[in-house]
Structure 1
Amino acid sequence: MQCILFRFVSVEQYQTMRTPIYFFGLILFIGFKAACTSQIETPSLLQEARYLAESHPDSAMRLIDAIVDPEGSLNKKQYMQYLVTRVQVRHKNYRDITEDTLIFDAARYFRQHNKDLKQTALALFYSGSVRRQQKQYEPAMVYYKEAEHYAKKAKDNSLRGLVEYNIGDLLAEQGLHYKALDRYRTAARYYQDELDKLAYSYSAMGRMFLFEEDNDSAFYYFHRGLDIAREKGSKVLQSQLAQSLGVAYGEVKRYNEAERYHREAMQLTSDSTELPRNYLNLAKLYSKMPQADSASVYAEKLKEGLDRLKDNYFQASACNFLAGWEKAQGNYDSAFAHQDKRMKVLAQIMEDRGNQSVYEVEQKYNYERIQAQHYRAQSVKQRWIIVLLGIVIIGGVLFLWFWIRQKNKQIAVQQSMDTLTEMNRDLENTVLKKRLALRRALLWRFDIAKKVLKLNEGVRMNPKNTLEKSIIAQFNNIVYGETTIDEHWEALLQTFKNSRPGYAEKIRENYTDLTETEFRICILTYADFSVKEIAVVLQQSPNTIQTRRTTLRKKLGLHSGGDIAEHIDNILR
C-alpha cells in the first residue's frame, strides 16, 4: 500500500529531486518517440522496397535489411509481404535462398486470402524458386504451376512471362529442350511490351535450338534478340547478345562470324571493366582458328587487365585460360603463376561464400535477439503466450485422441474393404465359371446343329441314296420338327437365344447398321461356325461369307483378323 500513499516534501527536497525526474522523463519520451517512429517507418520501408524490388533489387535489399523487427512492427499481411519481398530481392541479387523457408508460410497465407492475386502469384513463384535452389524439382514445378494459375487470373503479363520463363529454365535443366522451348515461346508472347525481357527470351530459345543442333533456328532467334536490343538502343544488351552470338558461332566453327560479333560486342562495351571479357573471348577464338599472333595480342591485354577484375568467377576463368595458353607456348613459369593465382581466387570465392554464411547467421542472430528483447519488454504478452501455450497443449492432446480414434476407424474401414474385395474376387470367379459353363453349353448345342448340317450336305451330295435320305429326314424331323433344311437359321437363332438370353437383341440395338445377313454371320461366328459352315447355313459361297465378315468387323470397330466373339463378350457382358 505504500506505493500509493501521498507525503509532503519541502522546497529543498523538491528542487533536489527535480533533475533526476526530468532526466528520467526525457529518457521515457525519447524511447517512446523512437518506438513510435519505428512503428511508422517500417511499413514505409517495406512499401519502398516492394516498389524497387523489380527495377533496383540492390536498393530494395538495403531497405529490407534496415527492417530490424519485421514481425513486431508489421501487421500480419505486411509481415507476409515482407517475407515475399525479402526472398524476391535476395533472389535477384543472386543470394542463397535455400534457407528462406518462411516463404512457404507466406504462400499458404496468400493462397487462403487470395484477394491480392499478384501477391499470391509472387509468393508461390518464389516458393518454387526456393525449392529449385534446394534441388527439389518436383515441388518447385508444383509451385510454379500454381503461380502460373494465379498470374493468369491476375492478368499480369509481366508476371506470367516470369513464371513461364523459369518453368522453361527448370525444364531445360532436366534436358527437356523442346518442352522448355515451348515455355520460352510463351514467355516471349507475354513480354511483347518489355523488350529487354523479350530479347532474353529469344536468346533462351536460341540456346535450346543450339542444344538440339538446329543451328539455323538457333541463329535466327539470336539475331532477333540482337535486333530488338539494337531497336531499343541498349548498348549493354546489344553487347551481351553479340557476345552470345560470337560464342555460338565459335562453337559451330564459323570463326569469321564469331570474330565479327565479338568485335561488335567490344565496340559496344562502354564500361572498361567489361573489356577483359571481350579480350578473353577473342583470345579463345583466335587460339582455335588458329591465329597465334592475334591470340597472343588479346592474351596480353587480358593479362594487363586481370588485376582490375572485380568478378572473382570471371577472374578464375581468365586465369584458367591464361595458364593453358602459357603452357602451350612453353612458358611454364607463367603457366604455374596463373594457375597459382587461379587457386587463390578460388580460395577467395570459397571464403566469400563462408563470409556470406557468417553474415546470414549474424542477421538471424540479431533478429532473434531483438525479437527476444521485444517480448521480454511486454510481460502481458508473455502471460498471453503461456495461456495460449496451455490451450495448444490441450488442443494437441485432444487432437491426438481424435487422431487415434480416426486411425482406428480407418483400420476398421480398411479391414471391411479388404473383406469386400475378397468377396468381390470370389464373386467374379464364380461369374466367370458360370459364363464359361454357359459358353460350353452353347457351343455343344451348336455343335449338334453343325453336325446335322454336315449330314444334310452329304445327302445333297449323294441324292440317289434314298435310305440315308430317309434317315436324315427323320432325324431332322426329330430335332427341328417339320422345318426344312432352309429353315435351319430360325432353329439356330432360337438355340442361340436360349443359351445367350438377350444377346441377339443387344447386338441389334448396339449395331443398327448391320444387314440381316451380317447379323446372321455375327451370330454364327460367335457360335464358332467356320466360314464353310456359315456358307452352308446361309446358302452362299465361302468367298462371299469371308467378304461379308470383313465388312462386319469394320462395322463392329475391329481391325482385320479381330476376334468377333471376344469383342461381343466384352461389349455385351
Structure 2
Amino acid sequence: MRTLTNFLLLFFICLFFSCKKDNTSIDLLKQAQNIAESNPDYALTLLDSISNPENMDKDNYMQYIVIQVQAKQRSKQDITNDTLIFEAQRYFDKKNNAEQAALAHYFAGRVYRAKNMSDEALESFLQSEPYAIQSHNNVLAGKGVHIMGNLYYEQGITDTAIVLYKKALSYYEKEKDTDKYKMQVANEIGRAYDEIKDVDSAYVYFQKAEKYADTLGDKEFKVAISNNLGYIYFRMKDYDKSLNYLNNVLKQTSDAKIYAKTYLILSDLYNAKNQPDSARYYINLSEKSLAEIGDNQTLKVLYNSFVDYCKQIGDYKQALYYKELGDSIKNVITKNERPLSLLVADKNFHLDQKDKQVDQLRKYAYLYLLVGIVICIILLVFAASIFKIHKRDKEEIKFQEEKYRRIKDQLLAMAAEYKDIEAEIAAILDDEDD
C-alpha cells in the first residue's frame, strides 16, 4: 500500500512539474510572438530559452517555427535553411486559423525569396493575402503584395508591378502608423514609372515618398529619394533643382552605389549644359565607384551609360570594353530572370482559387438541394398530418353530432313521457278528490 501511495505521489509531482514546464514554454512563446516585429533579437532570446520546443503540442510548435523565422527575418539573419516553415505553411493551411495561416504563408514566401525561388515565393505571398484580409491584418497583406510588386519589377514586368505597388499602398493607407511602408512603396512606384518613361507620375510618387521621409525623420531613406528626385528634375530639364538635390545627396551619403548613380546623373547633367570637363570629372568618379558595387541591375545601368559617354567623346575602344562588361552582366541577369514562370504561378494560383470557389459552390448547391428535399418532406408530412387530423376531426364531429342528436331524442322522449306521467298523476289526484 505504501509503495502504491509513493508511486502515485511521484506521478502527480512529475505531472505537476510537466504542466508547469509546458505553461512556461507557452508563456515564453506568447511573449516572443508579441515582440517578434518590434524587438526581434529579444524574441529570439525568448525562443532560445524554450528547451525542446518540438515536444510542445503540434499547434504551439508550428507557431514556434513561424515566430522564429519572423524574428530572424526582422533581425536580418539568414533564413535560407529555415525550411520547417513549409511544414508550418501546410499545417496552418488545413487549420481554421486565418491569422497563423497568413503569417506562415508570408514567411514561407520570405524563405523562398531568400533562396531566389521567385515563382514559389509569389505563390506563397498570393496565398497569404486572403488569409491576411480574413484576419483583418492589412499591414501583412500590404507587405505581401509589396514584395510581389518587387518580384514583377525585378523580372521587367513593370506595368504589373505598378498595379501591385498601388494595391499595397491602399492596404497601408487603411492602418495607422504605416508611414514607413507608405514611404517605401511610394518610392517603388516612382521608380517603376521612371522605368516606363512616365516622368510626371514618377515625380508625383517620389514627392510623396519624400514627405513621408520628412515626417519620419528617416535621413538614410531621404538620401535615396533625393537622388531619385535629382534624376527626375534632370529629366524634366530643371537643372538647378537637380543640382541642388544631387549635391545634398553627395554631402549626406557614404553608399558607393548611391555615389556612382549620383556621379553618373551629374555627368549627364553637365553634358546637357555643354560643360564637358565637369561631365568627364563626374564620369571618372563614377567609374572609380564600380569596384564597390555588387548589384547587377545598377552595374548594367552604369555600363550602358559609360558606353554612351565613350561613344560621345569618340573613345570607341573604351566604349567596346564597357559594352562587353555590360553584355556579361545582362547574361547573368537573364539567367536569373523567370518572368514566364511568375505569370504561370500567378495563373495557376488564380485557377486553383476558382476551382476551390466552384467546389465550394457545388457543396453549397448540394447542401441547399438536401435542405430543400428535407423541407419538402417535412411539408408533405405536415400536410398529411393536417389532412389526417382534419379527417379525424370531421369524423369526430359527425360522431358527436349523432351522439347529441340521440341524446336530444332521448330527452324529448323523456319529456313526453314525463308529461304523460304528470297527466296521469293529475288524474289520480282528481279521482281522490271526488
Gaps of 5+ in 2: 4-14, 271-275, 311-434
What SS class does the counterpart of residue 37 from structure 2 fall into?
coil
Map of 1:86 onto structure 2: 68
Q: CA deviation at 1:131?
A: 2.6
Residue identity in the other structure for 1:239:
V
Q: Pick the aligned partner of 1:110 from 66, 88, 92.
A: 92
1:40-51 map, 5 Å: 41-51=24-34
Change (3 A) 1:252 1:104: farther
* Mapped partners of 1:43, 1:142: distance in 2: 31
- The equivalent residue for 2:189 is 205
Query: Is 1:228 the equivalent of 2:212?
Result: yes
**Superposition deviation, residue 239 in structure 1:** 3.2
SS in 2 for 1:260: helix
**What's the counterpart of residue 141 of structure 1?**
122
CA distance in 1, matches of 2:77, 2:245: 32
Aligned to 1:150: 131
**Secondary structure in 1 matching 2:80:** coil
Query: What letter is aligned with 1:150?
Result: Y
In 1: Cα distance, 2:152 partner to 2:75 partner: 23
Write out aligned runs for 1:428-439 (5 A).
none
Superposition CA RMSD, Å: 4.3
Equivalent residues of 1:107, 1:120 under 8 A apart: yes
Other-structure match for 2:315? none
CA distance in 2: counterparts of 1:179 and 1:228, whole angstroms: 24
Please say if residues 122 and 148 of structure 2, whose CA atoms lie closer than 8 Å, have aligned partners that are also in contact: yes
In structure 1, the residue matched to 2:57 is 75
- Counterpart for residue 97 of structure 1: 79
**Within 2, Cα distance between the matches of 1:66 and 1:243?**
45
> Structure 2 length normalisation: TM-score?
0.52
**1:185–1:205 contact (8 Å) kept in structure 2:** yes
CA distance in 2, matches of 1:33, 1:244: 63
Whether the aligned pair in 1 keeps the contact of 2:199 and 2:232 (CA below 8 Å) is: no
2:107 to 126, 130, 138: 126
C-alpha contact (below 8 Å) 2:224/2:258 kept by paired residues: no
Aligned length: 276
1 CA distance for matches of 2:237 and 2:28? 52
Q: By how many angstroms is 1:64 displaced?
A: 4.0
Write the letter of the residue equivalent to 2:198: D
Q: What percent of counterpart residues are identical? A: 30
Q: 1:262 aligns with which of 246, 261, 265?
A: 246
Instruction: State how far apart, in whole Å, the 2-side matches of 1:69 and 1:263 are.
Output: 56
Q: Which residue of 1 aligns with 2:150?
A: 169
C-alpha deviation, 1:106, in angstroms? 0.7
**Letter in structure 2 aligned against 1:245:** L
Aligned-partner SS, 2:165? helix
- Whether the 8 Å CA contact 2:256–2:293 is kept in 1: the answer is no
Residue deviations 1:274-332 (CA, integer Å, cap 9, x gap): 58777666555545535659968x96xx99xxxxxxx9969xx99xx9xx9xxx9xxxx
List aligned pairs for 1:19-418, cutoff 5 A: 41-67=24-50, 69-72=52-55, 74-115=56-97, 117-192=98-173, 193=176, 194-246=178-230, 256-265=240-249, 269=252, 274=254, 283-288=263-268, 289=270, 292=278
Q: Which stretches in structure 1 are left out of the alignment for 5+ residues?
A: 5-31, 304-310, 329-573
Deviation sequence 1:177-229 (CA, Å, 0-9, x none) = 11111111011111123111111111111111111111221121111111222
Deviations for 1:427-448, whole angstroms, at most 9, x for unmatched residues? Answer: xxxxxxxxxxxxxxxxxxxxxx
Match of 2:365 in 1: none
CA contact (8 A) 2:199 2:235 kept: no
Q: Structure 1 residues 240, 50: closer, same or farther in 2, change over 3 A?
A: farther
